[in-house]
Chains A and B, each alone.
Chain A
Amino acid sequence: MSWIGRSLPRLEDPSLLMGRGRYVADLARGAASVKFVRSPVAAGRILSIDVPDGELVFTAADLDGVKPICPILHRPDYIAVEQPILAKDRVMFCGQALAVVVAEDQGLAEDLAEEVYADIDAEDAIVDMEAALAEGAVAVHAHAPGNVLVEGVLRSPGLDAAFADAAEIVTLDLRSGRQSAMPLEGRGGVAQYDRISGRVTLYASVQMPHMLRTGLADVLQIPEADLRVVAPDVGGGFGQKMSLFPEYVALVWLARKLERDVAWIEDRRENFLASSHSRDQSFHVRGAFAKDGTLLGIDADLKSNVGAFSCYPVTCGVEPLMALAELPGPYKVPEYGVRSRGVTTNTGMMAPYRGVSRPMLTLTMERMMDVAARRLGIDPIEIRRRNLIDSFPHRSPTGLVYDEGSYKEAMDRAVAAIDLTGFRARQKEARAAGRYLGIGFSVFSERTGYGTPAYAARGMNIVPGYEIVSCAMDPSGFVEARIGSSPHGQGLKTALAQLIADELGVEPGKIKVFSGDTDATPYGWGTFASRSMVIAGGACKLAAGKVATRLRSVAAVMMQASEDHIVLEDGLARVTGTNQSLPIPEVARAAYHQSHRFPQSGPGLIENATYDPGGTFSNACHACIVEVDIETGGVKIERFIVAEDAGLLINPMIVDGQIHGGVAQGIANALFEELIYDETGNLLTVSLADYLPPTMAEVPTIEIEHLETVSDATITKAKGVGEGGAIGAPAAIINAMVDALSPFGIEIVRMPATPQYIRKLIREAERDAHG
């Protein structure tokens, strides 16, 4: 009996659902409260900072020996920038920390923060990319005139010919508003100082505990061994919790300086202001098509607003370089030209957010297909079919290798599930009644589970990718797996337990997975980039397989059988073809306590394994039906279908949950969420009254169909599925809205497509129609 493929209830859930989760704020009791004083202006020179006497208030001047955060990319077009822990000499964005105060409780810390006065000679801020790139624009960083921190350029030799031969050239100018990954739990940390050892333990709401420890040790110039980083229960991350933020450096510094425990728990306003942002992108893309709809080439100018600093460790290259590498997506693009820039401004720092660039890339390609289909008189599904990749392995124009997928099949499944033909009839009737229904599709690939070669190719100074797992069966027959991945809500521990259970023949309830504690787990890269099931899962399978080999060896001696004849299942070590068996706990105990009997395998049942795969592509097609209220500009999503191929499903329920959450964030991207700065660089959206994540009322039932294409790219046969929902949903929604509004001939070119924006397009279309 296999545990893989079963929708096992999550082992994590009982404690979380009973309110017994332990989040950082639950660990703050007894610690002094830390509050950061933040800049009210986006750009300027710090003339002085007045601090009240006799209180625990610190500024950059106090941080002797603390280095700035400065991630490196080994590319000639990358300009490194230094992010100080507290602003020194200049402020670079509204919300940057100027000082830090410590008081006995949160309220008193906020009182104290109000007594700190910074005299700043404010200067004009560079807020948007057009201003940053304008001729003669002020340099946000003096050593980066032109305000471009990273710039990738590629151009295949036949590109000009492709455009010269084109029957139709589609030009798109698309814009995505800036978003927050907005985890339910903000950032936060509790730094505990141990007076005996001098070590600091930092409990922090993070996705990458080992990386954080390395970063902290480098910046503070202390040995890593003097630090322990623990990620306790973490209330969502979505990429926002994988960077080294100045606040964590300050916390550890304070704990060491004051020799006491200190806690900083971010509030929502602070999270919007000072945590990372994403998706502030502007794409100018041309597509060349032959008369039969064949895509001949793409020429793209892609810009990403990376804000004031570069995120550690993945750098401000993360959005622009992902955009450069993955624009072709699931399509055959014979000729490809691209220029992709990361533009610095006096705004919050860009860092990864679930999907990284691909929501906009998918929107681009999927609008491209719909527009080309309309102009060439080809059915939109048919034009996709003619261009989707269908032989594997497929090599993209940027050298990415796609393993087996089901691009056309997934689209066909979605088309059937949504009843495209029936819908067109219904749409016609509705239009006659003055109602505007539309249907939209979005086909995409999701690159997941990639190891060190992919990151090395990006030129990263710190090259993540592998995972090491330590797996042990203890003398009682229970299993302990220690992983470097750091799940934060995904249910990974359950899925890994299912994998290990199949290797060792024990039930998942006897498998304990430990993560997120640098004292208790092997060095690893945390959880991000849809990697953990593939990579930590692969390492778990390998390590558990090695433990199984040991178990079989011991059992073989105990039952005087050949190792090859021992199978582990249902809690027993059985000799095949006989009725002979031993309970696994008995074998385990013997492996530790009677090891002299097993000279061949040696004592214990402890094994390590490493896995570092090249990567695998999941794929999916999203399809949705919307109704647009043309008088208010409001949109209602009537149906949303996901035909998903994530390879072999370890736990289908968890996969569905990943898709549900991702689609909700895609709906946010398409329709609701936007961080808005005014022209002075002041953030206007600092509460949930103005920054609008969709609620239960705005997220429809999400219907999911699974395909399971198995490739050899991963040893578990599983593909990653953490980001697809967020990647595919915006394009499906926008395509459906454009379809609904086709009587007006409207082209939607920005996200979120808010009611006022849609009304503006309709108003302009009506004005044009009436001359």
Chain B
Amino acid sequence: MKPASFDYIRPGSRAEILAALAAHGDDGKILAGGQSLVAAMNFRLARPEVLIDINGTKDLDYLQPSGDSLAIGALTRHAAFHKPVVDGPLGPLLAKVVRNIAHYPIRQRGTFTGSLAHADPASEWCLVATTLDAEMLIVNAEGERRCRAGDFFKGTFTTAVGAQDLLAEVRLPLLDDGWRSGFYEFSRRAGDFALAMSLAALKLENGRITEARLGVGGVADRAIRLHALENELAGKAPSRELFEDVAASAKAAIKPSEDIHASADYRRDLIRTVVLRALTEAAA
């Protein structure tokens, strides 16, 4: 349970990080919170030759509302979201979700963007980014590019971030006061990986849903945004019947993954349940 030997460098600035990535990116790995990477290294499932520790670059730890989005830096820890970080419905939504991420000590070290770059299918933040259509800022020594969540996640542990890239910032759209959200996760024990989870955000005006965001995580190789069902919700009054229909459609639409804790049949049952409960909470 000791990692294979590696070199360790600790750049002091964003420029130094990018230089280190350019020099070692193919054999290197960024260390942010390390909550997944270090365990994988101890199992020797990950064997980076060079560990590029970005924890010395303090200006990557920020939360900045700007325009119509919230910018999250590459070193912002999960624990930063324990209390609402921004006015409006987004802050409480993130505070609700963060409580489901592992355990308190892990939330003190693990980072928001680190979760996205790691792209575990059961990551709560990947579900949030996918459902709310986050925008990612990817930088390298050559320049920078932006990409939306729908193009960012490529599969289990796979994203648009290349070997020499740094996921420098993630922007989540701010939600205006008409939005309400619901989140439901089922896991074996408190803090375990989700066997299934759903995030629902509904914009309600005069008793009708004018806009909807609906996503499911932990059930496939990446979080899934259910565009078609969002359209089905739009324009209708929230009701148990409507939510039952949408939950049944979600169950039918997704081909779930299987593991020792959840067969495909069981995950299908859970998809219905988590979607129904997230929608119900959002409309409550």
A residues with CB within 8 A of B: 106-107, 110-111, 114, 267-269, 631-634, 672, 676, 684-685, 687, 689-690, 692, 694-695, 697-698, 754-756, 759-760, 763
Contact = CB atoms under 8 A, between A and B. Distances in A.
Contact of B188 (A114, A672, A676, A687): A672
A755 B270 CA distance: 10
B2 interface: yes
Contact of A755 (B188, B193, B260): B188
Contact of B269 (A268, A685, A695, A759): A759
Contacts, number: 64
A697 B189 contact: yes
A631 B244 CA distance: 13
Interface in B215-267: 260-263, 265-266
B4 A111 contact: yes
Given A634-B186, A698-B190, A107 B261 contact: no
A631 B269 contact: yes
B207 to A, nearest CB: 26
Interface in B188-214: 188-193, 195
B273 interface: yes
Given A269-B1, A634-B186, 13 more contacts: A110-B44, A111-B5, A269-B43, A631-B269, A633-B266, A672-B189, A676-B260, A689-B193, A690-B260, A695-B189, A697-B189, A698-B190, A755-B195
A671 to B, nearest CB: 9
Given A106-B2, A631-B273, A760 B186 contact: no
A114 B263 CA distance: 34
Nearest to B1: A267
Nearest to B186: A632
Interface centre among A631, A632, A672 (most CB of B within 10 A): A632
Contacts of B2: 106-107, 110
Contacts of A631: 269, 272-273
Contacts of B188: 672, 692, 754-755
Contacts of B193: 689
B1 A268 contact: yes
A632 B273 contact: yes
B92 interface: no
Interface residues of B, number: 25
B89 interface: no
A692 B43 CA distance: 18
Interface string B16-41: 00000000000000000000000000
Contacts of B262: 756
Contacts of A698: 189-190
B260 A685 contact: yes
Contacts of B44: 110, 114
Contacts of B269: 631-632, 759, 763
A24 to B, nearest CB: 16
A694 B189 contact: yes
Contacts of B272: 631
Nearest to B190: A697
From B186, B265, B269, B270, name the one whose CB has the most chain A CB atoms within 10 angstroms. Answer: B269
Contact of B270 (A632, A676, A687): A632
Contacts of A634: 186
Nearest to B277: A631
B147 to A, nearest CB: 30
A107 B191 contact: no
B65 interface: no
A268 B273 CA distance: 35
B3 interface: yes
A267 B43 CA distance: 10
Contacts of A687: 43
Contact of B261 (A111, A268, A694, A756): A756
Contacts of A694: 189
A695 B191 contact: yes
Given A631-B269, A759-B266, A107 B189 contact: no
A631 B195 CA distance: 13
Contacts of A633: 266
Nearest to A697: B190
A754 B261 CA distance: 8
Name the residue in A106, A107, A631, A676 with the highest tally of chain B Cβ atoms < 10 Å from its Cβ.
A631
6 contacts: A632-B186, A676-B260, A687-B43, A754-B188, A755-B186, A760-B265
Contacts of B190: 695, 697-698
Interface centre among A269, A694, A697, A756 (most CB of B within 10 A): A756
Contacts of B189: 672, 692, 694-695, 697-698
Contacts of A759: 266, 269
B136 to A, nearest CB: 27
B263 A756 contact: yes
A755 to B, nearest CB: 7
A692 B266 contact: no
Contacts of A690: 260-261
Given A632-B186, A684-B260, A756 B266 contact: yes
Nearest to A691: B260
A106 B5 CA distance: 12
A267 B2 CA distance: 10
A128 B130 CA distance: 42
Nearest to B269: A759
Contacts of A269: 1, 43
Contacts of A111: 4-5
Contacts of A695: 189-191
A332 B17 CA distance: 75
A685 B261 CA distance: 11
B75 to A, nearest CB: 25
Interface in B40-64: 43-44
Interface string B167-192: 00000000000000000001011111
A632 to B, nearest CB: 5
A694 B191 CA distance: 11
A607 B189 CA distance: 52
Given A689-B193, A697-B189, A107 B263 contact: no
A689 B2 CA distance: 18
| Shortest beta-carbon contacts, A-B, top 4 | A697-B190, A267-B1, A756-B266, A107-B2
Contacts of B260: 676, 684-685, 690
B256 to A, nearest CB: 12
Contacts of A676: 260
